[in-house]
A = this chain, B = another copy of it.
Amino acid sequence: MFIKLSMESKEPLYSQLVNQIIEGIAQKELHPGENLPSVRSLAQDLGINLHTVNKAYKQLEQNGFILIQRQKGAFIHPDGIPKANKAYQEKLTASLRPIIAESICRGMDEVSFTKKCQEIFSSFQKKGESSK
């Protein structure tokens, strides 16, 4: 598995897990329908409690990233991740606002900020994903 947790980070373990799985999907290392490790095995691999993994899975399920079936385990959502809707757009704006505010305070302009975003976007396209 490609997941690495930091015990020193201020970010909660379950949240690190959520983000790394989302990043895995964005990287296309995880594909729709693909099976995820069971809560117990992933917990053991990472050396953490199964409830912590379960909490992360629950949150991923709630947001449509994965599908959990009672006795089969968890899968990346076979139908793909729900597309950006209005509610998500608002959540996105709310999370970007304070970040952009601080950037402005520190003298960054739209250009350099946009450039940084593009760098990060690029880092998620490892494979040859040429636009058609």
Q: Report which A residues bind B (CB closer than 8 A).
A: 19, 22-23, 25-26, 65, 81-84, 88-89, 92-93, 95-108, 110, 113-114, 116-121, 124
- State whether B108 touches A23 (Cβ < 8 A): no
Q: Are A104 and B117 in contact (CB under 8 A)?
A: no
Copies in the complex: 2
Partner of A118, one of B110, B118, B119: B110
How many whole Å from A48's CB to the nearest CB in chain B?
A: 19
- Report B-chain residues with C-beta under 8 Å of the C-beta of A84: 103, 106-108
Q: Which residues of B contact A97 (CB under 8 A)?
A: 19, 23, 120
CB A82 to nearest CB in B, in angstroms, measures 7
